[in-house]
Amino acid sequence: MTKTNQAFEVSLFTDGACSGNPGPGGWAFILRHLPTGHQSEESGGSPETTNNRMELEAVVQGLQRLKRPCRVELFTDSVYVGKGITEWMHKWKSNGWKRKEKNKLVPVKNEELWRQLDVLISKHSVKYTRVAGHSGHPENDRCDELAVEAYQRYLYS
């Protein structure tokens, strides 16, 4: 993750949700181009997944939409994503995408998504900003609404 003092040009708001963990899950993002105010949102889901996978998927999907390197401020309520980006990922990479558990190296959970995120982050200047979930943050609440709608499709099919 690269930090910069330059003004951000893109805000990326993300959220993931699950009905059960594991269970049907959904992800969503809002991508806002700050200079123009143009905004897009997208969501999707999986019939059997975990909340952490959906949190990661939302960030990966959002960053994949960027067509050129950008200065991105990532807003998420996921401590898992935030700590992964700011604290854990560097160690995981140096350990061959393994983490310590009970004094042994074990594979990182959701490794393929973390690897995708690593590649995407290397293309952009990304700053992580944590928001409190379900706290009245308009974009976070909207992403939660979209993610829940995405997994609800699997509940009744």
The contacts found for 61-66 with CB under 8 angstroms, 24 or more apart, are 61/27, 61/29, 62/12, 62/14, 62/29, 62/31, 63/12, 63/117, 63/120, 63/121, 63/123, 63/124, 63/126, 64/120, 65/31, 65/40, 66/10, 66/31, 66/123, 66/124
- The verdict on whether 15 is a catalytic residue reads yes
Active-site position among 25, 45, 55, 62: 55
Active-site position among 77, 82, 84, 139: 77
- The verdict on whether 55 is a catalytic residue reads yes
- The verdict on whether 112 is a catalytic residue reads no
- The answer to whether 154 touches 148, Cβ cutoff 8 Å, is no
- The verdict on whether 136 is a catalytic residue reads no
- The verdict on whether 134 is a catalytic residue reads yes
Active-site position among 20, 90, 111, 134: 134
- The verdict on whether 144 is a catalytic residue reads yes
Active-site position among 15, 57, 73, 139: 15
Active-site position among 57, 73, 139, 144: 144
Active site residues: 15-16, 55, 77, 134, 144
